[in-house]
Structure 1
Amino acid sequence: MLPIFYSIGLLIILPASFIISLWKAPFKSKLEWLLDSMLTTALIVWLFQAGNWSWVGYYVSFLWLILLIVTFIFSWKKIRNLPFTIKYSLNQKFSIGIYILLILVFGTYNALVVKSYSVAEKGIELSFPLKNGTYYVGQGGNQVAMNYHQAHPGQKYALDILKLNTIGTRANGLYPEELNKYQIFEDNLYSPCNGKVVNVKNDLPDLTPPKSDSENPEGNHVTLSCENDDATTILLAHMQKGSLVVAKNEKVTTGQKLGKVGNSGNTSEPHLHIHAEKDGRGVPIIFNDRFLVRNSLVR
C-alpha cells in the first residue's frame, strides 16, 4: 500500500497544496507572490516531467499545468496593486530565504530531468517490441532522477514499460492483485531486431503483486543478439510463464513473436523490462529515432 499513498501524496496532495497556497495566501508584496509563483511552477514542472503518472492517470499531469495557469491569472489580479517590496519583518525575511532555497532545490531537480532527455553515447536502433496500445515508460532516461536503472552499470539506459487504459492508468484499480487487471499483462512481445536467441527462461511462476523473486531477477526472459550489433545483447524480461515461442540459438526476425508480457522475477507488477548490454555496461536504446524517458508514450 505504501506506493499508493506515496503516489497520491506526491502527485495529488503536494501540488494541490502549493496551488491553493498561491491562490489564497495573503501576500503583502509582489516579491512574495513572485517567489511563491516561481516555487509552485518549479514544483509542478518537476512533477509533470518526473512523476510516475501511470498510478493516478497520465492526463492528470496536464490538469495541474492548466490549474497553475488559471491560478497565476486570478492571484495576479489580487496582488497587482501591491508594492513590489515592503519593509519585511524577521519572520518574513526568513520565509523569503526558505522560498529562495526551495526554488534552487526544485530548479536543480528540473535541470537533472532535462539532462536525462539526451545521451552522448552511441545507441542501438531497435523496433519497439509491443503493438496495439498506448505504452508508457515508467523508468527511462539518462539520470537516476528519471530512471533508477542508471545506478546499475549493466542496466544503464534500461526501460520499464507499462500500458495505459483509456483514462491513462496502467491498471483497473490502484494496485490490484489480479494480474489481468494490468493493461500490459499477456500482451504479445515481438523481436526488436533480426538476430539470434542467446538465452531463454520459460518456467518461472507469475507472481501476485507486490510479491517478487529476487533470486531470479530477470524472471522468464529472452536474450537476443542483433545482426546490426552482435556484440550487444538485448534482454526482454518478466515474461509470462510458458508463453515463450522461441528457443535458444533460434534465428528471429524483426516483429516475430517471442512470447507474452508477464509478472515473473524481481518485479512489483506486470511490465516489460528491456535493456541493451555490451561488455558489462548498458547501451542506449533508440526506437524510431527516439530516446525514451519516463513519461514518454508510444502509441
Structure 2
Amino acid sequence: MADLLDLEYPFTGRWLVQNSPANRVPSHGTALFATSYAIDFVPVNDAGRSAPITLGSLLRSERPERFPGFGRSVLAPVQGVVIAAHDVEPDHPAHRGFPSIGYALTQQRRAQAGWVALAGNHVFIESGGIVVALCHLVHGSVRVQPGQHVQVGDVLGQCGNSGNSTEPHVHVQAIDTADIARANAVRLTFNGLLPRNGDVIDATA
C-alpha cells in the first residue's frame, strides 16, 4: 500500500491553508484518529480573507452563514468508491475572539465523544486501498452514498461548520483503513505539492 497519496484540491475558488503537515507533524497537535497528516482549508473571499472581524465577532459567536465559504461545494479529490457518508450533524455557530476560548475548553469532551463529534458531517472515499476523509460538511448537504463510484470533481457536499470546527472549513486526511480507531495516517500531497500554512490556493473551476 502506498505511503503517500496525491490528490486534486477538493474545491474551486480561493481557500486559505491551515494546520498543514508541511509546517508540523502532527499537523493538528495530536495523532488521535490518524490526523497526523491532516490539513485544513478555509474558504476566503477574492481578497483572501474570511469574514471580517468586528467588535461583535470578538465578543460573541457568529452565524456560520456569515462566512464567505459556508455552503461552497466540496468536490471529490480522487477517483474511488464512497464507503461512508454522514450528514445529520448540526452546523453550530462559529467562534472567534473570546468565544473561541470557551470553545477550546470543550475540546477534550468532543475528543472523548469520538470520531463523529470531531469530524461532523463527512464522506469517506476509498481509492487504491487508501481512504480519504473530507469533514465538517453542511448538515443535509451530502450528495453521495456508500457504494457510489465518484470521479475527481464530483460534488460530495458543501463546506460547513459541523463537528470540531471554529469556522467553516474543510478538513482532509488520508488513512489506511476505514476503521478510524485502528487507522494509520497516510501522507498526502495536492497536485504533487504540499501547501504550507498561510498559502492561499486559487483553484480555477
Q: Specify the TM-score bucket, using the shorter chain as the normaliser.
A: 0.7 to 0.9
Whether the aligned pair in 1 keeps the contact of 2:122 and 2:133 (CA below 8 Å) is: yes
Distance 2:122 2:4 in 1: 22
Aligned letter for 2:37? Y
**2:23·2:197 contact (CA, 8 Å) conserved in 1?**
no
Q: Is the 8 A contact 1:142 1:150 kept in 2?
A: no
Does the 8 Å contact 2:138/2:159 carry over to 1? yes
**Does 1:254 find its partner at 2:152?**
yes
Deviation at 1:151, TM superposition (A): 4.2
Q: Alignment partner for residue 201 of structure 1, among 86, 103, 124? A: 86
Contact 1:171 1:182 in 2 (8 A): yes
Moved more, 133-142 or 258-267: 133-142
CA offsets per residue over residues 84-108 of structure 1, 9 Å max, x none? xxxxxxxxxxxxxxxxxxxxxxxxx
- 2:124 alignment partner AA: T
> C-alpha separation between the residues in 2 aligned to 1:129 and 1:243?
15
- Take 1:166 and 1:128, find their aligned partners in 2: how far apart are those partners? 18
Relative to structure 1, is the Cα distance of residues 146 and 225 closer, same or farther in structure 2, using a 3 angstrom cutoff? closer
Specify whether residues 170 and 270 from structure 1 end up closer, same or farther in structure 2 by C-alpha distance, changes over 3 A only: same
Q: CA deviation at 1:164?
A: 2.1
Which structure features the higher share of strand residues?
2
Residue matched to 2:16 = 136
The runs of 5 or more residues in structure 2 that have no matched partner are: 96-102, 178-182
Q: How many equivalent residue pairs? A: 175
Higher RCO by CA contacts (8 Å cutoff, separation 6 or greater): 2
CA RMSD of aligned residues (A): 2.3
Query: Which of these residues, 140, 143, 147, is aligned with residue 245 of structure 1?
Result: 143
Distance (whole Å) between structure 2 residues aligned to residue 271 and residue 143 of structure 1: 19
Percent identity between the two aligned chains:
25
| Structure ID, larger Rg | 1
Q: Provide structure 1 residue ranges, at least 5 long, that are not aligned to the other structure.
A: 1-120
Q: Deviations over 1:216-252 (max 9, x none)?
A: 11101001101xx2x2111000000000110111111
Does residue 1:286 correspond to 2:161, yes or no? no
* Structure 1 residue 189, shift from structure 2 partner: 0.6
The within-5 A match list for 1:10-159 is 122-131=3-12, 133-144=13-24, 147-149=27-29, 151-152=31-32, 154-159=34-39
State the alpha-carbon separation in 1 of the partners of residues 198 and 21 from structure 2: 10
Distance 1:127 1:166 in 2: 21
Residues 150 and 263 of structure 1, relative CA distance in 2, 3 Å threshold: same
Q: Which runs of 4+ in 1 moved over 3 A?
A: 142-146, 149-153
Offset at residue 130 of structure 1 (A): 0.5
Greater helix fraction, Structure 1 or Structure 2: 1
Distance 1:184 1:146 in 2: 26
